[in-house]
Amino acid sequence: MKVLLIGSGGREHALAWKLAQSPRLTALFAAPGNPGIAEHATISDVDIDDQAAVVAFCRDTAIDFVVVGPEAPLVAGLADRLRKAGIVTFGPSAAAAQLEGSKGFTKDLCAQYDIPTGAYRRFGNASEAKAYIEAQGAPIVIKADGLAAGKGVTVAMTMGEALAAIDDCFDGAFGAAGAEVVVEAFLSGEEASFFCLCDGRTLLPLATAQDHKRVGDGDTGPNTGGMGAYSPAPVMTPDLVARTMTEIIAPTMRGMAKNGMPFSGVFFAGLMITDKGPELIEYNVRFGDPECQVLMMRLKSDLLPILFACATGTLDTVTAEWHDETALTVVLASKGYPGAYAKGTPIEAIPAERNDAKVFHAGTALKERKLVATGGRVLNATAVGPTAAIAQEKAYQLVDGIVWDNGFCRRDIGYLAIERENP
C-alpha cells in the first residue's frame, strides 16, 4: 500500500516510524514532513493547504491511503475532498471535526446526549458573558469557541481574571476563534487523556495517556502544546476506562451519527476524573502531540491495517495489542517557548535509536545539511520501561545525549505516575 502522511510534527514522526514498520507498506510519502520523518518517508513539497494540489499529488503518485495528522487540514475539509476524489483517508469530515473546531458544538452535543461535562453557556457578546460569570462566581473557565492553538482557555481562579479573559476574547486576542465564547463550570480532579478509534459505527479503544501542559517543573508557568507525556495513565483504572467508553465515547459516536455527521477517525478525549467519575473537558479529532509518540512506542500491532480499517468502516475486523510497559516522552523546546524564541539554532547531536528509546523530531529542519531547530517544540526524547520511573530515567538519559545549546526541557515528566508507583 502506498501511503501519504500529512503533517510535520513529532506526532507525524512517530506515525511515520510506526507505519514504516508495516509489511503492508510499499511506499511512504509525507508532506510537509521534517528531517526525522525523512528517515522513513519520501518528502513531498505539495502544499497541504491546497486541497486540489493534494488530490493531484495522490493521483499522480497512485496513493492508496492518506493519513492526516493535524487538526487544521481536517477542520478545513481535506478528508472530505480526498474521499470525494475516491482516495481512502484516515481522519474525520469537516462537519465531524467540529468536535475539536468548536467548543460550543461539543458542549451542545453533550447536552443533547447526556454526556457528562461541566455546566456551560455560549455567548456572542461580552456584557451577557460577564453578567453570567458574576452570577456564577469564580473559579470558572472561559474558552474561545474556535481553534486557538491550545491558547484559548483561561481557568480563572478569580472574578478579575474571568472578566479580563472575556475582554481578551471579544477584543480579538484569538481572532475569529474568539468571536464566540463558552463559559464553563470549573471541574476539579486529575486529568487524563483517552484515545479511541471510530469508523462511524464501531469503536476500537486504544490507550490512555497523560500530558504535562505547563512549561515549568511542578506544572507551573504558562500553558504550552505539551511538554511531555506518558502512557498508560495510572489514574485511568479499567473501571474508569469502561465508564468513559459507555458514558462518553459511545454516546458521542451514536449522537454524531444521529445528527447526520458520522465520526471517522480518532477520538482524543480530554477527561477530568472528578468525584462523580470521568467528565469530558474537550475532544480533539486527531492523535495528541506528544501523546501519539508514547502510544506508538507501546503499540505492538501493525498500525497500517488498523488505520485503514478505521478509514474503510471495517474496524470490527482488527484488534490492537499493546506492550504493558510505560512509555514516556520528554519534549525539548527552544529557550523562550511558549513565548518568543530564536530560530535556526544548531542541534549538534542526537543519540541513535534503540529498541526501547527513540528521539522523534518535531520542529527541526536541515540548513546547509546541518540539523537546526525551527520550532518551539523541537525534539521528543521517548523511552519505554517496566515502570514509569524506569521509563523516565531512560528518557532523561536520552535527553542528556542530545547536544543542543538553545534547548530546554522539564525535568519532572511523569512525576504523578511515579508517585503512584511509590505511595
Residue ranges in contact with ligand AMP by CB under 6 A: 118, 141, 150, 153, 155, 184, 186-187, 191, 213, 270, 281-282
Q: Identify which of residues 5 and 417 has a Cβ nearer to ligand AMP in the complex.
A: 417
Q: Identify which of residues 95 and 155 has a Cβ nearer to ligand AMP in the complex.
A: 155
Distance CA 116, CA 106 (A): 12
Task: Identify the H or E element spanning 122.
Answer: strand 120-123
CB of 298 to ligand GLY, least distance (A): 16
CA 365 from chain center: how many Å?
Answer: 22
Find which of ligand AMP, ligand GLY, none residue 281 binds, CB within 5 to 8 Å per kind.
Answer: ligand AMP
Of 273, 267, 202, 262, the C-alpha closest to 236 is: 273
Find which of ligand GLY, ligand AMP, none residue 291 binds, CB within 5 to 8 Å per kind.
Answer: ligand GLY
Site string for ligand GLY, 21-60 (x = CB under 6 A): ----------------------------------------
Residue nearest ligand GLY, Cβ-based: 226
CB of 228 to ligand AMP, least distance (A): 14
Q: Identify which of residues 37 and 281 has a Cβ nearer to ligand AMP in the complex.
A: 281
Please list the residues that pair with 154 across neighbouring strands: 142
Find which of ligand AMP, ligand GLY, none residue 154 binds, CB within 5 to 8 Å per kind.
Answer: none
Pairing relationship of beta strands 65-68 and 88-90 according to DSSP bridges: parallel
Angle between helices 303-311 and 10-19 (to 10 degrees): 110
Of 101, 103, 73, 96, the C-alpha closest to 4 is: 73
CA angle 216, 194, 94 (to 5 degrees): 100
Q: What is the dihedral of CA 33, 37, 39, 40, to 10 degrees?
A: -100
Q: Identify which of residues 15 and 144 has a Cβ nearer to ligand AMP in the complex.
A: 144
Distance CA 225, CA 363 (A): 13
Give the residue, chosen from 104, 178, 262, 288, that forms a contact with ligand GLY under the rule CB under 6 A: 288
Cell 520550532: give the residue: 375
User: What residues contact 368, with CB distance under 8 A and at least 6 apart?
Assistant: none
For position 154 contacting ligand GLY by CB under 6 A, the verdict is no
For position 293 contacting ligand GLY by CB under 6 A, the verdict is no
For position 380 contacting ligand GLY by CB under 6 A, the verdict is no
Find which of ligand GLY, ligand AMP, none residue 284 binds, CB within 5 to 8 Å per kind.
Answer: ligand GLY
Find which of ligand GLY, ligand AMP, none residue 121 binds, CB within 5 to 8 Å per kind.
Answer: none
Q: Identify which of residues 162 and 281 has a Cβ nearer to ligand GLY in the complex.
A: 281
Q: Identify which of residues 156 and 294 has a Cβ nearer to ligand GLY in the complex.
A: 294
CA distances from 211 to 229, 285, 292, 414, 416 (A): 4, 17, 11, 8, 11
CB of 121 to ligand AMP, least distance (A): 13
Find which of ligand GLY, ligand AMP, none residue 288 binds, CB within 5 to 8 Å per kind.
Answer: ligand GLY
Residue 202 φ then ψ, to 5°: -125, 145
CA angle 72, 250, 205 (to 5 degrees): 75
For position 289 contacting ligand GLY by CB under 6 A, the verdict is yes
| Candidate segments 80-88, 136-144, 164-172, 285-293, binder of ligand GLY by CB under 6 A | 285-293
Cell of 388: 514509569
Residues in the interface with ligand GLY (CB under 6 A) total 7
CB of 250 to ligand GLY, least distance (A): 22
Mark out the alpha helices in 49-146 (DSSP H runs). Answer: 51-61, 71-75, 78-84, 98-101, 103-113, 126-136
For position 208 contacting ligand GLY by CB under 6 A, the verdict is no
Of 25, 8, 16, 93, the C-alpha closest to 64 is: 25
Give the residue, chosen from 80, 184, 199, 211, that forms a contact with ligand GLY under the rule CB under 6 A: 211
Contacting positions for ligand GLY (CB under 6 A): 211, 225-226, 284, 288-289, 291
